[in-house]
Amino acid sequence: MKLHKVTSQSIKEAALIIQNGGLVAFPTETVYGLGADALNPLAVARVFEVKERPNFDPLIVHISSLADIERLCLKIDKMARTLMKHFWPGPLTLVLPKSSLVPDIVTAGLPTVAVRMPSHPVASELIKAAGTPVAAPSANLFSRLSPTTAKHVKEQLGDKIDLILDGGRSPIGVESTVILLASGKAHLLRPGGLSLEDIENVIGAVKIQIPKSLSPLSPGQLPRHYSPRTPIRFLPPGKIEFEKGKKVGLLAFTPLKAKMPCEVVEILSPEGDIVEAAANLFPCLHRLDKAGLDIIYAESVPKIGLGRAIMDRLYKAVGDSRSE
């Protein structure tokens, strides 16, 4: 595996690897993605293999121009076009009926495909240079913590992939918001880097409960996901007694008001800023996971703006099947 800083040369090399069916990890504004040519079923199969991802779990296809979506999707309704106009490029994934160009392995056999146009300049340049849509889940092992730096990718996928492009830290730090568009209505499949409030300001109410008929299996809906290897629980309200002799770590939203008997404390946002907290979520969890702790306690954050995505990831990390 090679690890290169982003330069125009390394982007060219990465594009060539993708064209030849290889795998490249690259920065996006949400988290690092593990990219393969979305139109090459063998390359996509390698993504599933390397991530140890179950093949019922569909991938997001990344594009760099609006022309691409016309090739990938069949019915792009008015609401989809409105969302694309307002929020692309950016941390919003749209699920739409797929065209026959999209291999079944990408969508796990579903008749729909998830598409996103990232705003990160490196992601955008790489997709353009590759000249093909790029299927890219997060560049981590299935169900583990998502990577927001090249180092996180190296630790989990190391020699199993062809190249890591190091473009610094992913600025948003949580995955994209996934919206399914069906029968002229929008359904939230996964809260993420674009807040529900921002989306609803543009298209009105979004459905939070997904009807069973529209509910394909997806990682965002699996009960345990985004998990550290260290056991993690929510911090119960009120005064708590930690078990004697256990090494405890705490993931706090803001600085602690009272001292706690913890080995390590990670603060998501010194000022209580929810956007900063989202950007720090995975880096803090990676550090806690490496600290040799017996247990991690996580404090809840307010479910406003990106707080909804943070709480979703924490519910999944503790294995709580709630999504709201």
The contact set with ligand AMP (CB under 6 A) reads: 58-60, 93, 95, 107, 110, 112-114, 137-138, 175, 178, 180, 189-190, 216, 218-220
Residue 145's binding partner, choosing from Mg ion, ligand AMP, none, with beta-carbon cut-off 5 to 8 A by kind? none
State how beta strands 134-135 and 60-62 pair. antiparallel
Nearer to Mg ion, 114 or 163 (CB): 114
What minimum distance in Å lies between the beta carbon of 249 and Mg ion? 23
State how beta strands 92-97 and 112-116 pair. antiparallel
Say whether residue 93 binds Mg ion (CB under 5 A): no
Residue 156's binding partner, choosing from Mg ion, ligand AMP, none, with beta-carbon cut-off 5 to 8 A by kind? none
Contact 242/261 with Cβ under 8 angstroms? yes
What minimum distance in Å lies between the beta carbon of 210 and ligand AMP? 9
Nearer to Mg ion, 40 or 138 (CB): 138
Give the per-residue contact string, 109-138, with Mg ion (x = CB under 5 A; - = no). -----------------------------x
Look at the block and give the residue holding tokens 């473009």: 167
What minimum distance in Å lies between the beta carbon of 109 and ligand AMP? 9
End-to-end CA distance of the chain: 40
Q: Residue 182: what are its φ and ψ, rounded to 5°?
A: -150, 135
Q: Residue 96: what are its φ and ψ, rounded to 5°?
A: -135, 160
Nearer to ligand AMP, 23 or 114 (CB): 114
Residue 112's binding partner, choosing from ligand AMP, Mg ion, none, with beta-carbon cut-off 5 to 8 A by kind? ligand AMP
**Separation CA 286–CA 86 (nearest Å):** 33
Amino acid present at 286: H
Query: Can you list the positions of beta strands (E) in 121-263?
Result: 134-135, 163-166, 177-182, 185-190, 232-234, 248-252
* Sign of the CA dihedral running 283, 23, 121, 7: positive
Residue 196's binding partner, choosing from ligand AMP, Mg ion, none, with beta-carbon cut-off 5 to 8 A by kind? none
Interface ranges with Mg ion (CB under 5 A)? 138
